[in-house]
Amino acid sequence: MKLALIQMKGTVENDENIAIAVQQIKEAADNGADFVVLPEMFSCPYKTSNFPVYAQRDGDRNWQALSKAASENGVYLVAGSMPEVSDGKIYNTAYAFDRQGNQIGKHRKMHLFDCDIPGGAFFHESETLTAGDSVTTFETEFGTMGLMICFDIRFPELSRLMCEDGAKLVIVPAAFNMTSGPNWWEIMFRTRACDNQFYMAGCAPARDVDASYVAYGHSIVVDPFGKVLSELDEKPGILYQELDLAETEKFRSQYKILKSRRLDIYSLKDIRH
C-alpha cells in the first residue's frame, strides 16, 4: 500500500480548511496513494476555546465532504481529527472512511492533553473536551489498522491492546508542540513500533509560528524495527511511503518479543464499552 500523510497549515475558517484538505486528498490520490491521513484538529485553530465553536455532529457537512473525498478519489481516508459534539459533550474525534466513502472507524481521543510548562505551553484540553473510551481498530484490504490521537501514544497499554486486536499499522493524527515535539515525537513513535512490532504513522499539522498553539510538524513513518522510514520537516507537504503490512510477521518471527511475554504473570484486562 502507498500511504500519504498530509501535513497542512490550517486557517481560522472551517470551510477553507476542509477545501484545502479535499484538494490535498486529490493530489495524494493522483500520486498513487491508497491510504491518506490528515492531521489532528485540521479543521480549526488548535485552541481549547475553539473546540465547542467549531464542533459538528456525525454526518454534518465536514463528515459529508470527507466521505465524498474518499469516494471520489477511491482512497482510504483517516480524516485527521475534528471537534465533534454529541449529547452536549465535545470530543476530539477521528473518522476513517473506506474507498467508497463508508465510515469504517471512529476514534475519540482517550487521553486529554493538559500541560503547564513554565515559560512554555499552557494547554488544557480537559477544559472543553470529554475523553473517549474505546480502543479503535478497523479492517481494510491491507489488514487491520489501529487509530489513536496524539497524547494517546503516551500510554503503552493502548497500543498493546491494538496489537492484540491484530493491528499491523497504527495511525496517529497528532499535534505535538515545540516542547514535546523535539523531546519526544520520534522517541514515542519508535518506541511504540518496537514494543508491538508494527508500523507507526504520525500525521501532524505544519508549523505556524503565528498560531496560539505552535505545532512541531515532522510527520513520520516508522517500521516494526523502530527504524524511521521517512519524515518531513516543519513545512507543509505530503509524506509518501510504500508499506507492506505483511512484513510485520517477518519482524516478529526474527525477534520473538510478543511471543516471549509472560502472560502467566501479567496481562492487560481490556474493558470495553
Segment holding 147, helix H or strand E: strand 143-147
The predicted pLDDT at position 113 comes to 86
Residue 94 and residue 84 in contact, taking contact as beta carbons nearer than 8 Å:
no
Q: Which residues of 230-247 are buried (b: 16+ CB within 10 A; e: fewer)?
A: ebbebebbbbebebebeb
Q: Are strands 143-147 and 169-173 parallel, antiparallel or unpaired?
A: parallel
Tens digit of pLDDT for each residue in 195-251?
999 999 999 999 999 998 899 999 999 999 999 999 999 999 999 999 999 999 998
Query: Which grid coordinates belong to 227?
Result: 527504524
Q: Is 150 a catalytic residue?
A: yes
Q: Based on the residue annotation, tell me whether 89 is a catalytic residue of this protein.
A: no
Active-site hit among 44, 84, 106, 150: 150
Residue 268 is predicted with a pLDDT of 85
The answer to whether residues 18 and 43 touch, using CB atoms and an 8 Å cutoff, is yes
Please check the confidence at residue 270 and state whether its pLDDT lies above 70: no
Look at residue 61 and tell me whether its pLDDT is greater than 70.
Answer: yes
Residue 60 identity (one-letter amino acid): D
Mean pLDDT of the chain: 94
pLDDT (tens digit per residue) in 19-47: 999 999 999 999 999 999 999 999 999 98
Task: Indicate which residue of 40, 84, 231, 234 is catalytic.
Answer: 40
| Ordered alpha helix ranges (H), 6-142 | 14-30, 50-54, 61-73
Least confident of 2-6, 21-25, 44-48, 81-85: 44-48
Is 47 among the catalytic positions?
Answer: no
Q: State the pLDDT at residue 273.
A: 44
Marked catalytic residue, from 9, 106, 109, 168 = 109
DSSP string, 171-202: EEE---BTTHHHHHHHHHHHHHHHHHTSEEEE
pLDDT at 123: 74
Contact 136, 146 (CB under 8 A): yes
